[in-house]
């Protein structure tokens, strides 16, 4: 007897293990039920098997048919589901088994079996275990299917978002808290993945991650201008930076042309005013002389003619500036170089500005590192540079302060000379420093509007300096003053004091 039980036990174990192996490979509810039918056929060899869900919907029938004959047991099915109990009833020449599939106290479905004979006790036990295992695995498979469906939905949504971001004309990247790019759209891959753009965008993104607020930036790469906007994004308790990079070359060019146009209009208004003022003075003074010459004492006459002379000189300067500008535009400005002592040239410029400085209560001084600094330059043009810088320094002095000064210094360096013009005037805002050398540009502050000018002076000065192979730059602090520097090569080597052809 003990042997028989052992043999049965062994058989059941073999069946279990083959059932579990079958279950291991299932990926859908249908496959579980097929495995179950297979195992049932090996255990109790039923004539037929029907598996229903808890609402009596057919999930599987063996052999396959859909005549719904099992519905004749409808009441017994309900009873078994309600009582959650396994039962066997004789029906005609067969025994029908009702095996509810129970999981966590809930009925998930029911297995109906048509048997030739009443099953043995150990067969009933195995059937119970099989149905329990099937319901467990079926539930897990259902959960798995749900998760897989959700994953598929998440993936689909991600793909959808990515394709939207890929259609953007802007480049978009997401930078993690560790400063790594965790997302880049197609545009960035195609257009922006170069060192300059990447470095600048990462820099702006880093600021956003550090400060938690929006930041903007700009970068120039291969002749194109890009604007960068980075916004903070909270993600799983870290801060990331969503960074958008836009090619704004055409907008910038348009802006530049519009600004140039605006400046030209302002320039025409300015120049008309600049011409009219001295002209009006000349007209008024000469009229008075013409009609009242007899009554005039010699001193008044001298004063009047002096004013006429000064105003016509002002007009001449203005016309010369216009002429130079037009030459620069036509690329026709030529330097007439010769060997000269730069100290003398600068000194004479300072001398001719002395009266203007005095009348503005500005103390104008000059010092030079050497008595003679010989260079191969155009003396008239170098003087023009100095005159322009000194007159600006006086012009843009503060209105009502004591101790106004303009310090002109000349220094010989190895193979260059350095001219500096320092003032304690109104200064230049930092963001305008690189603009003041552009044609027509005038710093847009109320103070400068009270001061006459054309906005051409510095652009002409810059051109002259560059035609001498030199450079010009400025250091300034708004409200405190400015220092303009001009450095020009002496241009003497191999010259032997002879005139050279212009460059
Ligand atoms: P302008 O005819 O207006 O003087 P410039 O080309 O000489 O034209 O100068 C351009 C602008 O630069 C000026 O309008 C002024 O705003 C600024 N600027 C030039 N020199 C000085 C200075 N020494 N101090 C302050 N601002 C200056």
Q: What is the pLDDT of residue 7?
A: 55
Q: Name which residue sits closest to atom 4 of ligand 1, judged by CA.
A: 453
The CB-based long-range contact list for 471-477 (8 Å cut-off, 24+ gap) reads 472/437, 474/428, 474/433, 474/436, 476/427, 476/428, 476/430, 476/433, 477/427
Query: 443: Cβ below 6 Å to ligand 1?
Result: yes
Residue count of the chain? 503
pLDDT band at 500 (very low <50, low <70, confident <90, very high): very low
As a whole number of angstroms, the distance between CA 439 and CA 457 comes to 8
Q: Name which residue sits closest to atom 14 of ligand 1, judged by CA.
A: 442
For ligand 1, the distance from its centroid to the CA atom of residue 442, given in whole angstroms, is 6
Q: Name which residue sits closest to atom 25 of ligand 1, judged by CA.
A: 427
Give me the numbers of helices (H) and strands (E) for the chain, helices first please: 12, 17
Residue 314 predicted with pLDDT over 80: yes
Residue of 357, 362, 394, 396 to test ligand 1 pocket, by largest number of atoms within 8 Å of CB: 396
With a pLDDT cut of 90, the percent of the chain lying above it is 50
For ligand 1, the distance from its centroid to the CA atom of residue 475, given in whole angstroms, is 13
pLDDT band at 421 (very low <50, low <70, confident <90, very high): very high
Q: What is the pLDDT of residue 449?
A: 52
Distances (CA, A) of 311 to 276, 308, 348: 11, 5, 21
Which helix (H) or strand (E) element contains residue 67? none
The answer to whether 397 touches 406, Cβ cutoff 8 Å, is yes
Residue of 386, 442, 451, 460 to test ligand 1 pocket, by largest number of atoms within 8 Å of CB: 442
Q: Name which residue sits closest to atom 19 of ligand 1, judged by CA.
A: 392
Residue of 270, 271, 388, 455 to test ligand 1 pocket, by largest number of atoms within 8 Å of CB: 455
Instruction: Tell me which of 24-38, 46-60, 140-154, 167-181 is least confident.
Output: 24-38
As a whole number of angstroms, the distance between CA 457 and CA 448 comes to 14
**Mean pLDDT for the chain overall:** 87
Query: 437: Cβ below 6 Å to ligand 1?
Result: no
Q: For 259-306, what is each residue's pLDDT tens digit?
A: 888 888 878 877 888 888 889 999 999 999 999 988 889 999 999 999
Q: What count of Cα atoms within 13 Å lies in the side-chain half-sphere of residue 85?
A: 6
Partners of 409 in beta bridges:
367, 420
484 CA: nearest ligand 1 atom: 23
For ligand 1, the distance from its centroid to the CA atom of residue 392, given in whole angstroms, is 6
Query: 482: Cβ below 6 Å to ligand 1?
Result: yes
Residue 144 predicted with pLDDT over 90: no
Distances (CA, A) of 301 to 180, 395, 459, 500: 80, 28, 39, 48
Query: 445: Cβ below 6 Å to ligand 1?
Result: no
**CATH architecture, range 338-499:** 2-Layer Sandwich (3.30)
388 CA: nearest ligand 1 atom: 7
Query: 426: Cβ below 6 Å to ligand 1?
Result: yes
Distances (CA, A) of 18 to 13, 14, 30, 36, 63: 9, 6, 18, 11, 22
For ligand 1, the distance from its centroid to the CA atom of residue 415, given in whole angstroms, is 29
Cβ atoms within 10 A of the Cβ of 210, count?
12
The answer to whether 268 touches 284, Cβ cutoff 8 Å, is no
- Average of per-residue pLDDT across 15-37: 76
427: Cβ contacts below 8 Å, ≥ 6 apart = 476, 477, 478, 479, 480, 481, 482
As a whole number of angstroms, the distance between CA 407 and CA 392 comes to 12
**SS3 label, residue 91:** strand
455 CA: nearest ligand 1 atom: 8
Question: How do beta strands 362-368 and 404-412 pair?
Answer: parallel
Q: For 65-91, what is each residue's pLDDT tens digit?
A: 777 888 889 999 999 999 988 889 998
- Average of per-residue pLDDT across 181-198: 88
Residue 97 predicted with pLDDT over 60: yes
The CB-based long-range contact list for 280-287 (8 Å cut-off, 24+ gap) reads 281/307, 281/308, 281/311, 282/308, 282/311, 282/312, 282/315, 285/311
Q: What is the pLDDT of residue 105?
A: 82
Domain 167-329 grouped into CATH 1.10.760.10: no
As a whole number of angstroms, the distance between CA 332 and CA 324 comes to 9
Cβ atoms within 10 A of the Cβ of 304, count?
17
Query: 442: Cβ below 6 Å to ligand 1?
Result: yes
Query: 453: Cβ below 6 Å to ligand 1?
Result: yes
Residue with tokens 């480049």: 171
As a whole number of angstroms, the distance between CA 209 and CA 144 comes to 38
Kindly tell me the burial class for residue 298, based on how many C-beta atoms sit within 10 Å of its own C-beta (0-12, 13-18, 19 or more): exposed
For ligand 1, the distance from its centroid to the CA atom of residue 376, given in whole angstroms, is 28
For ligand 1, the distance from its centroid to the CA atom of residue 75, given in whole angstroms, is 103
Q: What is the pLDDT of residue 497?
A: 42
CATH number for the region 2-138 comes to: 3.30.450.40
Residue 6 predicted with pLDDT over 70: no
Name the CA dihedral angle for 78, 84, 88, 90, rounded to a multiple of 10 degrees: -20
Residue 445 predicted with pLDDT over 70: no
pLDDT band at 231 (very low <50, low <70, confident <90, very high): very high
For ligand 1, the distance from its centroid to the CA atom of residue 48, given in whole angstroms, is 103
Query: 396: Cβ below 6 Å to ligand 1?
Result: yes
As a whole number of angstroms, the distance between CA 199 and CA 457 comes to 38
pLDDT band at 450 (very low <50, low <70, confident <90, very high): low
Query: 436: Cβ below 6 Å to ligand 1?
Result: yes
Residue of 453, 454, 474 to test ligand 1 pocket, by largest number of atoms within 8 Å of CB: 453
Q: Name which residue sits closest to atom 11 of ligand 1, judged by CA.
A: 442
Instruction: Tell me which of 105-114, 122-131, 232-241, 349-358 is least confident.
Output: 122-131
- Average of per-residue pLDDT across 221-240: 90
**Domain positions in the chain:** 2-138, 167-329, 338-499
Q: What is the pLDDT of residue 69?
A: 83
Query: 325: Cβ below 6 Å to ligand 1?
Result: no
Question: Angle at which helices 457-467 and 379-395 pack, to 10 degrees?
Answer: 150
**9 vs 457, residue with greater confidence:** 457
As a whole number of angstroms, the distance between CA 17 and CA 21 comes to 6
Residue 448 predicted with pLDDT over 70: no
Residue of 277, 392, 421, 453 to test ligand 1 pocket, by largest number of atoms within 8 Å of CB: 392
**26 vs 382, residue with greater confidence:** 382
The answer to whether 499 touches 435, Cβ cutoff 8 Å, is no
């Amino acid at each position: 007897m003990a042997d028989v039980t052992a043999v049965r036990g062994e058989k059941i174990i073999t069946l279990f293990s083959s059932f579990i192996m079958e279950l291991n490979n299932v990926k859908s509810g249908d496959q579980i039920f097929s495995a179950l039918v297979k195992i049932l056929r090996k255990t109790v060899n039923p004539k037929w098997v029907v598996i229903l869900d808890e609402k009596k919907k057919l999930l599987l029938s063996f052999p396959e048919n859909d005549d719904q004959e099992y519905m004749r047991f409808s009441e017994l099915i309900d009873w078994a589901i309600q009582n959650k109990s396994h039962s066997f009833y004789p029906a005609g020449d067969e025994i029908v088994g009702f095996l509810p599939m129970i999981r966590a106290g809930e009925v998930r479905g029911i297995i109906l079996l048509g048997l030739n004979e009443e099953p043995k006790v150990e067969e009933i036990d195995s059937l119970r275990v099989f149905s329990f295992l099937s319901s467990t695995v079926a539930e897990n498979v259902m959960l798995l299917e749900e998760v897989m469906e959700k994953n598929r939905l998440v993936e689909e949504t991600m793909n959808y978002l990515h394709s939207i971001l890929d259609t953007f004309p802007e480049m978009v990247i997401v930078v993690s808290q560790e400063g790594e790019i965790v997302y880049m759209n197609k545009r960035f891959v195609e257009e922006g993945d170069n060192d300059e753009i990447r470095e600048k965008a990462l820099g702006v993104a880093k600021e956003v991650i550090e400060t938690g607020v929006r930041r903007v930036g700009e970068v120039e790469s291969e002749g194109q201008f890009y604007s960068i906007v980075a916004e903070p994004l909270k993600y799983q308790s870290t801060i990331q930076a969503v960074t958008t990079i836009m090619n704004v070359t055409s907008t910038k060019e348009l802006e530049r042309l519009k600004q140039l146009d605006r400046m030209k209009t302002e320039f025409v208004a300015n120049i008309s005013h600049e011409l009219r003022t001295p002209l009006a003075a000349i007209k008024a003074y000469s009229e008075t002389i013409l009609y009242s010459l007899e009554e005039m004492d010699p001193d008044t006459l001298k004063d009047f003619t002096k004013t006429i002379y000064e105003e016509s000189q002002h007009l001449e300067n203005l016309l010369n500036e216009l002429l130079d500008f037009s030459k620069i535009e036509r690329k026709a400005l030529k330097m007439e170089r010769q060997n000269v002592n730069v100290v003398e040239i600068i000194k004479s410029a300072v001398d001719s500005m002395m009266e203007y400085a005095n009348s503005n209560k500005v103390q104008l001084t000059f010092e030079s590192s050497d008595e003679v600094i010989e260079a191969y330059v155009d003396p008239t043009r170098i003087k023009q540079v100095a005159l322009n810088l000194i007159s600006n320094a006086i012009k843009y002095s503060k209105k009502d302060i004591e101790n106004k000064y303009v310090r002109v210094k000349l220094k010989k360096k190895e193979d260059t000379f350095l001219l500096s013009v320092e003032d304690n005037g109104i200064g230049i805002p930092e963001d305008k420093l690189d603009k003041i050398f552009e044609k027509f540009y005038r710093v847009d502050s109320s103070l400068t509007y009270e001061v006459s000018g054309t906005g051409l002076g510095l652009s002409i000065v810059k051109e002259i300096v560059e035609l001498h192979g030199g450079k010009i730059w400025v250091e300034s602090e708004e409200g405190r003053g400015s220092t303009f520097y001009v450095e020009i090569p002496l241009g003497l080597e191999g010259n032997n004091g002879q005139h050279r052809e212009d460059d």
